[in-house]
Amino acid sequence: MDNKRELFQIMTRRFGLLNKNCCTIGGCDISPIQSHILYEVDRQHKPSMQQIANTLGTDITTFSRQIQALIKMNLLNKTPDPSDRRVYTLSLTPEGKYVATTIDKQMNDYLDEAFSYMSLADQEMVLRSIHLLNEAMAKSDKCCRPIMG
Q: Is 9 among the residues that bind its own copies (CB under 8 A)?
A: yes
How far apart, in whole angstroms, are the C-alpha atoms of residue 110 and residue 28?
20
Residue 89 belongs to what H/E stretch? strand 88-92
CB of 61 to its own copies, least distance (A): 16
Give the number of other Cβ atoms within 10 Å of residue 106's Cβ.
Answer: 16
Binding mask 83-122 for its own copies (x = CB under 8 A): ---------------------x--xx-xxxxxx-xx---x
Those residues with Cβ within 8 angstroms of residue 126's Cβ, 6 or more apart along the chain or in another chain:
115, 118
Residue 145: contacted member of DNA, its own copies, none (CB under 5 to 8 Å, by partner type): its own copies
Does the CA dihedral 65-42-9-30 come out positive or negative?
Answer: negative
Output 51 or 123, the one with its CB closest to DNA.
51
Which stretches of the chain bind its own copies, using CB under 8 A?
1, 3-5, 7-21, 36, 39, 56-57, 104, 107-108, 110-115, 117-118, 122, 125-137, 139-140, 142-146, 148
